[in-house]
Amino acid sequence: MSERHDRAVVTVAGVAVDTRHWIDGRRVASSATFPDASPMDGAPLAEIARGGAAEASAAVTAARAAFPGWAATGREERARILHAIADGVDKRTEELAAVETADNGALLRSHRRGVMPRVAHNFRFFADWLLTLGHEDFETRGHSNHVSWDPAGVCALITPWNAPLMLATWKVAPALAAGNTVVLKPAEWSPLTASLLADIAAEAGLPAGVLNVLQGYGEEAGAALVSDPRVARISFTGSVPTARHIAGAAAANLVPVSLELGGKSPLLVFADADLDLAVELAVEQYDNAGQVCLAGTRLLVESSVAEEFTRRFVEKAATLRQGDPRDEATGIGPNIHPDHVARIDGFVQRALACGARAVIGGGPNTELGGFYYLPTLLTDVAPDAEIVTEEVFGPVLTLQTFDTEEEALTLANGTRFGLAATLLTGDQERADRVTRQLVAGTVWVNCFFVRDLQAPFGGSRQSGIGREGGTWSFDFYCDVKNTVTAPKGFAHHG
């Protein structure tokens, strides 16, 4: 899978990747490294620079030094450079897709056709939004009010392993567009494409120090980064326990945070829904081997159609081919890491021990090895069972039934999460009633995963804090200022 060039550079899927940090426009090594392996087969990919407090401090120092110059750069020039980064992503789509598939195991065809184009779009969208960002001036008793968005400073961005480059650039692009400088800390299980992004940004003309990439473990590099008092903003996508540590560090320095923390989203199917569509969207929840924060993992189906829904679901799920994510015919690939597979299986085995029934799946795919978990559907689960209240983050769905709209809402809102919800019904009035009562940051009605960057994105309850997207991103990454000017009082000179 990988081949050593020297101590710093490896070849992954035919692409040269530097394994060092990117700090102040140059590559920086660490005295220690950590291993990175492919979830496709467990083969070693690289030894990655293992950053700690010293490297985190150096990255923040570089970002802080670069901030005045980048903040003073005009909107048009910042937008031009972001478009140039997007052009670089487009030129390297095949390389980025191949490396990310090797590194995190997601389907190669998805990376080629959807994920990497979205990476480029992230930069283009926020570059263009920057040029239109504004608020109409207004008057107060004859005084004029002018709203502006001032860059905040150094942004610490900590990103997950399930969609590494797309979710990193969802944060990096608006932070840079706003005039901030960035220290990006990618997840240690999928660090490679962040390194390639640093190369692309440098080639696009982004000044040294504006984007820094800090590799390492969360408890070492990440902890040092978020506790640095020079950091002005922290954005994190990941687990609730990690978010608690980050929020504590941020609180000590009164630093604003944006937290996107996964979920346990419901997918509600009423008897008047299009069952073919409902089944199609339900099986789609196995996308990326279930490693999608927005996935509707709790199937809530009206009792009168539950048997028919289940029959069609089993037939549809049986057409999913599990295997090598580089194969065009593969529908579901591996999970990220053996430790994560063991975690997934722990949830399932505890559920089975408590009386749940596996309609399909129920364990690892022993034919494919330790990284592959069978698409699983569990029934006969209690409303308060661990399997329906805790995020599994794997190809594991549960099916519960309901008889009334009120019961459906009680089940749907019955967890500590509130990231997303999917509703299938043929009744517009019901759709309106139910969506008003669902606790979720995003609700899809008779569709799934339709995402627009101008829409607000974030979670309710323990699915997160804050919203990003469109102007909401600039509200977070900036200090929003209102300037009030009196109608008279300026001295005339000259």
Of the candidates 95, 100, 220, 293, the residue annotated as catalytic is: 293
Active site residue 367: no
483's CB contacts (< 8 A; 6+ apart) are 145, 146, 147, 148
Of the candidates 260, 302, 391, 468, the residue annotated as catalytic is: 260
Active site residue 155: no
- For the chain, how long is the longest CA-to-CA vector? 87
* Of the candidates 341, 340, 337, 349, the residue with the CA atom closest to the CA atom of residue 387: 349
Token pair belonging to 44: 């070693």
CA dist 33 and 173 (Å) reads 28
Query: Partners of 468 in the beta sheet?
Result: 457
Token pair belonging to 29: 């090594």
Handedness of CA 462, 467, 468, 469 (dihedral sign): positive
**Cβ(461)–Cβ(257) below 8 Å:** no
> Which of the residues are catalytic?
260, 293
